Amino acid sequence: MSHRAESRCIFNHRISKSTNQHLELFQNKKHLFFDLDHTLWDFDRNSAVAFDVIFKQHGFDFSIDEFLKYYIPRNQHYWKLYQVNKISHEDLRYYRLKDVFDILEVEVSRELVNQLSDDYITHLPNSNHLLDGAIEVLEYLQPKYELHIITNGFHFVQDKKLKNSNIEHFFKSVTNSEMAGVKKPHPTIFEFALSLAQATKEESIMIGDSWEADIEGAVDFGMDAIFFNAENIKTENTSHVEVKHLLELKNIL
């Protein structure tokens, strides 16, 4: 049996009974809305590349793996605060770095942290690593659905990510939080995205990795959603449709 065939057998085995029970919900769908970071675009891997470049430029000698061990959870923490408007864009960019330097006991000035943050945003979208299966699943879905992006990321950065990873052509529309004026899970961003895509919530599905922003946000708005749960996050709600690998979407859609 080929590696790909083996993989598909594994994916078929993973599909839960609850997923099979929901298949009929997806029969009349026309529009799929994807999150970008951590759903299609490999944020953690691309961050490692960007930090490796800028830390070498600034003469830091700690390991990237050690830095990322602390940065990834701090970044997630501050993004959750940013999504619900508890911190500003500027605070997000500053404190996710400053906290890690404090943990590593590396003294840095506010000016240097801000410079590193600017350099990081410049280098980050130049990397083009996608999550495993992203291209294959997009190629499979594109003939069957209109594909779109809804992202809380910043306009300039997200557009460069799509172009540099060569997936921009898959999507009919891209909605970001700057365009909509609010961030997921706010219902207005979903309403904005549907209007831009000329779609209705009844014929649309949201697919993303953030339980709060993507799944609860979409469901509260009235859209069906598929939780991309690669991290095997435990949730109290067991009635949702969930996949752990992007290629599992081929068994559902």
Alpha helices by DSSP H, listed for 84-133, are: 89-103, 110-123
CATH 1.10.150.240 domain extents, the chain: 43-126
CA distances 120 to 46, 105, 123, 125, 194, Å, are 11, 20, 5, 9, 32
Q: What is the pLDDT of residue 196?
A: 98
The CATH code belonging to domain 3-42+130-251 is: 3.40.50.1000
Return the SS3 of 198. Answer: coil
**Cβ within 8 Å of residue 180, ≥6 positions away:** 186, 188, 189, 192, 193
CA distance 102 to 120: 18
Q: What is the pLDDT of residue 129?
A: 98
CA distance 73 to 78: 9
Would you tell me which CATH number, out of the four given (3.40.50.620, 3.20.20.150, 3.30.360.10, 1.10.150.240), belongs to the domain 43-126? 1.10.150.240
Question: By the 8 A CB rule, do 44 and 68 touch?
Answer: yes
User: What strands, in cross-sheet order, belong to the sheet with 224-228?
Assistant: 171-176, 146-151, 31-34, 204-208, 224-228, 241-243
Q: Could you list the pLDDT tens digit for every one of the 253 residues in the chain?
A: 433 333 333 333 334 445 555 567 788 999 999 999 999 999 999 999 999 999 999 999 888 999 999 999 999 999 999 988 899 999 999 999 999 999 999 999 999 999 999 999 999 999 999 999 999 999 999 999 999 999 998 898 999 999 999 999 999 999 999 999 999 999 999 999 999 999 999 999 999 999 999 999 999 999 999 999 998 988 877 667 999 999 999 999 9
* Chain mean position to CA 235: 18
**Cβ within 8 Å of residue 134, ≥6 positions away:** 40, 41, 167, 246
Q: What is the pLDDT of residue 3?
A: 38
Q: What is the pLDDT of residue 7?
A: 36
Q: What is the pLDDT of residue 9?
A: 36
Letter string b/e over residues 75-91, b meaning 16 or more CB atoms within 10 A of that residue's CB:
beebbeebbeeebeeee
Cα atoms in the Cβ-side hemisphere of radius 13 Å centred on 111: 0
Per-residue model confidence as pLDDT tens digits over 123-167: 999 999 999 999 999 999 999 999 999 999 889 899 999 999 999
pTM of the prediction? Answer: 0.87
Q: What is the pLDDT of residue 61?
A: 85
Q: What is the pLDDT of residue 154?
A: 85
Per-residue model confidence as pLDDT tens digits over 205-217: 999 999 999 999 9
CATH 3.40.50.1000 domain extents, the chain: 3-42+130-251
Q: What is the pLDDT of residue 234?
A: 85
Return the SS3 of 32. Answer: strand
Return the SS3 of 241. Answer: strand
- The whole-chain average pLDDT of the chain stands at 90
Question: By the 8 A CB rule, do 101 and 108 touch?
Answer: yes
